[in-house]
Structure 1
Amino acid sequence: MNVLSIFLTGLALSMDAFAVALTLGIKATNKDKKNIALKAALYFGGFQGAMPLLGWILGINFTQYIQKFDHWIAFALLSIIGGKMILDVIRDEEDEEKEQSATTSNKEFVLLAIATSIDALAVGIGFAFLKVNILNAVLVIALTTFVVCFMAVFIGKKFGELLKSKAELFGGVILVVIGTSILLEHLHIY
């Protein structure tokens, strides 16, 4: 597998993280957007790089066990976080400082990073079969995701300014849709 193939794999793997980072950008304040962009890039890039390494280490012995429940974990995490964002809009919470700290907490970033990088675990297992240089692959995937997610927060911030009050609702819906999409895809419903 050449560097271009690994880059394209990293780009494909980063799309869920891109969508989530876009959502984080929608809700970000001007003051916090750089901090959120850096956190999103670090967490998502780090997890997207670590998961293929973990998958590569686990190898084929555990594939059947991981694939049985990975989509449920992603669905649950994204739906819970997206659902909370939707409920915040419905409740019309005006405490912006409270809402902002909830979306930028390290715990939430970890949960989102896990939910969006589970598919990278399966890719890592595939890398074991292909005899890919795993360190090069991990580095390319992590850096690709880092750049994509960093930019996504700024794109989301611009998009959020256009949507104004509906931005958080839209972001919550995006997360629930991504989680549902992951679940339906793995259940072969579409």
Structure 2
Amino acid sequence: MNWIENLLILVGISLDIFAGMECQGSLVAKIDKKHLTLVCGLIAIWQLAALYIGNVLAGLLYINDLARNERFIGTVIAAVIFFCLGVRLIVKAIKNERVNEHREENLGFKRFWRMAAVTSIYTLLTGIAFGFLGTNLTVILIMIVCLTIAVVIMGTYTGYHFGFEHKRKAYVGGAILLWIAGFDVVFRYAMM
């Protein structure tokens, strides 16, 4: 896979984090840069670990010297993962869970353990898909850390200034990007 395809996928899964951070940013009275730095570090490391573990799991399930039919199965599984992750984001957009609006003094640190754990499940699945597609792990890991830090900061400040009105758009945008990547995998890799 080339870097544009990888970027599409990683931005797609990162928009889920953006929406969560937008909700958290809408609740704070003032953004404390120390707390934001800690949250960025926590979520970035968690995402990095989940993507790496997913890729390792795929490596255990999928050996590079497989026959053509087995490679085809791996690419189909990767495409299904991307389509299912997109459907999950659409369901979240339709569900549009309400945010318990109450003022927080700062972003804190403890609230983000649950969010990091839940999003890392989907990042783990993405790592498995990347493993089946044989992508360069080093590039992916660098990209996920940079994107995670960027979406945490952008989501927090978007929520702080504009509220949590844009979370549905983030979910739909992420789903579209993941579906585009899924179709790309089907047409480029599975049809070969």
Common fold: TM-score over 0.5: yes
Report matched runs for 1:2-41 at 5 Å.
2-30=2-30, 32-41=31-40
User: Normalising by the residue count of structure 1, what TM-score does the alignment of the two structures yield?
Assistant: 0.60
Unaligned runs of 5+ in 2: 62-76, 172-192
Deviations 1:145-190 (CA, angstroms, capped at 9, x unpaired):
2112111111111024xxxxxx7xx89xx79xx8xxxxxxxxxxxx
CA offsets, 1:92-136, max 9 Å, x none?
x7xx5xx546x5133x21211111221111111112222111121
Are 1:104 and 2:108 an aligned pair?
A: yes
Query: Pairwise mapping of residues 11-160 of structure 1 onto structure 2 (< 5 A)?
Result: 11-30=11-30, 32-59=31-58, 61=61, 86=100, 89=101, 99-100=104-105, 104-106=108-110, 108-160=111-163
Q: Could you tell me how far apart the structure 2 residues matched to 1:159 and 1:34 are?
A: 19
Task: Determine which structure has the larger helix proportion and give its number.
Answer: 1
Taking the aligned partners of 1:2 and 1:119, their CA distance within structure 2 comes to: 21
The alignment's TM-score, normalised by the length of structure 2, stands at 0.59
Per-residue displacement from partner, 1:45-81 (whole Å, max 9, x unpaired)? 22222211111112264xx9xx9xxx9xx9xxx9xxx
Give structure 1 regions of 4+ aligned residues with deviation exceeding 6 angstroms: none
Cα shift at 1:36: 4.0
8 Å contact from structure 2 (residues 35, 109) kept in 1:
no
Residue identity opposite 2:109 in structure 1: S
Identity %: 24
Distance 2:10 2:39 in 1: 16
C-alpha distance in 1 between matches for 2:46 and 2:134? 21
Q: Which residue in the other structure is 2:186 paired with?
A: none
Q: Secondary structure at the match of 2:26?
A: helix
Q: How far apart are the structure 1 equivalents of 2:134 and 2:149?
A: 25
